[in-house]
């Protein structure tokens, strides 16, 4: 049936999406377009939280803008397949029957084989009752080349092939080509724009409700209208402002924070951009927490590595990597000292579970930090962050990689014949070590040639090259080896070196 959104509060809109997700007569997909700061990602987070609480969220995937490789695109499909397998044993069994003995599927990096063979085909052999709800947040951050028939085109064309009980919520900035592709297959999608009259007319009311919910009654009564006006319809401004007011920096009171936010003379450069108020607020909040030079250096290193990572890092994994790039006696305390103040900007940084992935809640925060003109002393040099991560990856692999890392009883059995292989992998190959094995080359190719990285790189190939290949084999990721070596060759060539030194080093090692 055709659905039209009835204007109302933010809560009404969340209810509308929730009802769409469980209505058997609704369209297969709902695409929510909105510019930065309009609240589309916060809506995705809130809907995910609602359905997770009811144990009805099947899969949630967020794209990041970390100069992502095309790997990020196919991770969408492998994540959905993984989550379906975890939730539905019958799907896991059907999938196992398909990929057993088919190594090409395990390492496939193209949309078609992943979608057809690992998703559609096993779904034909199982009966799953009830709605299967999937959220894809930030499609515009996927690394797609706009104008090329990439992931957004594939999703627009192929999501209709999913079974009738699938519901897929997609959020994206309104890039012209993405909008055009989903409009082309509009019969299968509800399309809503955050700034159309159906939503924009009540944005001010929604922001007031948010302020009323997140501030004390006295604070809201006294300052709610002024703060709502200052927000200029940017939900992210309100979210950051509430976090700032409720947790004032050391030495500041709640009133200091409020009057600072409402002041027209903040001593900041006029940015002249649509996100000027939000960028002003980012700078003001960061200035409250990170003033001393040592803290600023720590901030740039920790947050830089977080933003440059090719997969979301947890506090635990970030700490492991930072041990090789941050000169601190207690690295974990140093990392927590930085990220714990950023709960309104980064997910999972205030949780006691330090294995949860950290993700910027809004892409404008990344945009702000990586623009030196906007962020000033808080500017994140991604090139330097990639250099630190490359060094950390090499150091971690040199320390942790070893012969027969999973303590297999024999080398004569293929991986798929080892019954407890997955438990051995989970015990001996940490997610951080596997991150290093996967992405060292991606970080390296974003760094200018230098001997500071050449030394650990040479040691890695002299001492641990075969052990690196062993990890890739155990994790069904051998397809990453050739692209990694190609990237390495290009990096060496940029410094007027050659891969010959690596081949000679490996030969010496064998002799």
* Positions in the chain short of pLDDT 50: 1-7, 66-71, 145-148, 265-274, 499-500, 503-505, 507-511
pLDDT of 65 reads 56
**What is the DSSP annotation of 387-415?**
HHHHHHHHHHHHHH--TTTT--S-SSS-G
Contact between 388 and 323 (Cβ < 8 Å)? no
Q: Buried b / exposed e across 466-504, counting CB within 10 Å, b at 16+? A: ebbebbbebbeeeebeeebeebbeebbeeeeeebeebee
pTM: 0.61
Structure tokens at 157: 């064309």
Which has the closest alpha carbon to 384: 326, 440, 447?
Answer: 447
What is the rounded CA–CA span in Å between residue 294 and residue 56? 45
Structure tokens at 405: 């890392």
Contact between 136 and 169 (Cβ < 8 Å)? yes
What beta strand segments (E) does 116-260 contain?
Answer: 132-137, 166-172, 189-193
CATH of 10-197, one of 3.30.429.10, 1.10.1740.10, 3.40.50.300, 3.30.310.50: 3.40.50.300
What is the rounded CA–CA span in Å between residue 52 and residue 134? 11
Distances (CA, A) of 337 to 103, 181, 332, 432: 44, 44, 8, 21
Distances (CA, A) of 453 to 318, 463, 503, 506: 20, 16, 17, 18
Which has the closest alpha carbon to 28: 180, 142, 170, 199?
Answer: 170
Token look-up 């009805």 returns 56
Contact between 345 and 362 (Cβ < 8 Å)? yes
Token look-up 């096993």 returns 122
Distances (CA, A) of 78 to 60, 138, 146, 415, 504: 12, 17, 23, 20, 38
What is the rounded CA–CA span in Å between residue 314 and residue 356? 5
Token look-up 């690196």 returns 468
Contact between 303 and 380 (Cβ < 8 Å)? yes
Q: Buried b / exposed e across 79-103, counting CB within 10 Å, b at 16+? A: ebbebbbeebeebbebbeeebeeee
Domain definitions of the chain by residue range:
10-197, 203-265, 290-378, 395-510
Phi-psi region of 4 (alpha: psi -120 to 50; beta: other; left: phi over 0): beta
Which has the closest alpha carbon to 257: 217, 223, 299?
Answer: 223
Helix, strand, or coil (residue 296)? helix
Helix, strand, or coil (residue 48)? helix
- What number of CA atoms fall less than 13 Å from residue 13's CA on the CB side? 23
Which has the closest alpha carbon to 170: 187, 160, 155?
Answer: 155
């Amino acid at each position: 049936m055709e659905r039209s959104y009835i204007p109302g509060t933010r809560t009404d809109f969340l209810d509308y999406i929730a009802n769409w997700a469980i209505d058997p007569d609704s369209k297969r997909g709902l695409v929510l377009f909105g510019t930065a700061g309009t609240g589309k990602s916060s809506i995705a987070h809130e809907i995910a939280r609602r359905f997770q609480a009811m144990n009805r969220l099947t899969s949630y995937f967020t794209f990041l803008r970390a100069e992502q490789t095309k790997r990020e695109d196919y991770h969408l499909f492998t994540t959905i397949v993984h989550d379906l397998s975890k939730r539905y044993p019958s799907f896991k069994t059907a999938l196992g029957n398909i990929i057993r003995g088919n190594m090409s599927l395990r390492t496939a990096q193209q949309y078609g084989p992943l979608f057809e063979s690992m998703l559609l085909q096993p779904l034909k052999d199982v009966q799953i009752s009830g709605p299967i709800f999937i959220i894809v947040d930030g499609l515009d951050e996927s690394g797609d080349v706009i104008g090329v028939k990439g992931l957004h085109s594939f999703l627009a064309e192929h999501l209709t092939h999913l079974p009738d009980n699938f519901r897929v919520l997609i959020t994206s900035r309104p890039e012209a080509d993405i909008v055009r592709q989903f409009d082309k297959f509009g019969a299968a999608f509800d399309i809503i724009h955050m700034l159309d009259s159906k939503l924009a007319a009540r944005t001010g009311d929604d922001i007031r409700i948010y302020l009323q919910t997140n501030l004390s009654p006295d604070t809201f009564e006294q300052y709610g209208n002024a703060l709502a006006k200052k927000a200029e319809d940017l939900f992210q401004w309100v979210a950051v402002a509430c976090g700032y007011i409720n947790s004032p920096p050391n030495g500041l009171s709640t009133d200091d924070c409020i009057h600072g936010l409402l002041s027209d003379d903040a001593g900041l450069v006029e940015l002249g951009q649509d996100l000027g108020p939000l960028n002003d607020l980012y700078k003001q909040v960061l200035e409250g927490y990170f003033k001393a030079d040592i803290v600023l250096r720590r901030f740039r290193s920790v947050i830089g590595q977080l933003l440059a990572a090719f997969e979301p890092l947890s506090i635990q994994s970030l700490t492991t990597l930072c041990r090789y790039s941050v000169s601190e006696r207690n690295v974990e305390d140093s990392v927590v000292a930085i990220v714990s103040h950023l709960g309104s900007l980064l997910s999972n940084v205030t949780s006691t579970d330090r294995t949860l992935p950290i993700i910027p809640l809004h892409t404008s925060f990344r945009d702000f930090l990586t623009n030196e003109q906007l962020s000033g002393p808080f500017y994140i040099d991604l090139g330097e962050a990639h250099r630190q991560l490359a060094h950390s990856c090499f150091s971690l692999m040199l320390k942790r990689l070893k012969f027969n890392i999973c303590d297999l009883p024999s080398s004569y059995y293929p991986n798929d014949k080892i019954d407890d292989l997955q438990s051995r992998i989970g015990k001996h190959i940490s997610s951080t070590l596997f991150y290093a094995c996967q992405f060292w080359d991606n970080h390296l190719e974003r760094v200018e040639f230098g001997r500071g990285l050449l030394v650990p790189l040479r040691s890695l190939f002299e001492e641990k090259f075969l052990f690196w290949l062993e990890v890739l084999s155990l994790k069904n990721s051998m397809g990453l080896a050739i692209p990694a070596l190609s990237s390495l060759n290009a990096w060496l060539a940029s410094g007027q070196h050659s891969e010959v030194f690596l081949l000679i080093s490996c030969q010496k090692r064998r002799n």
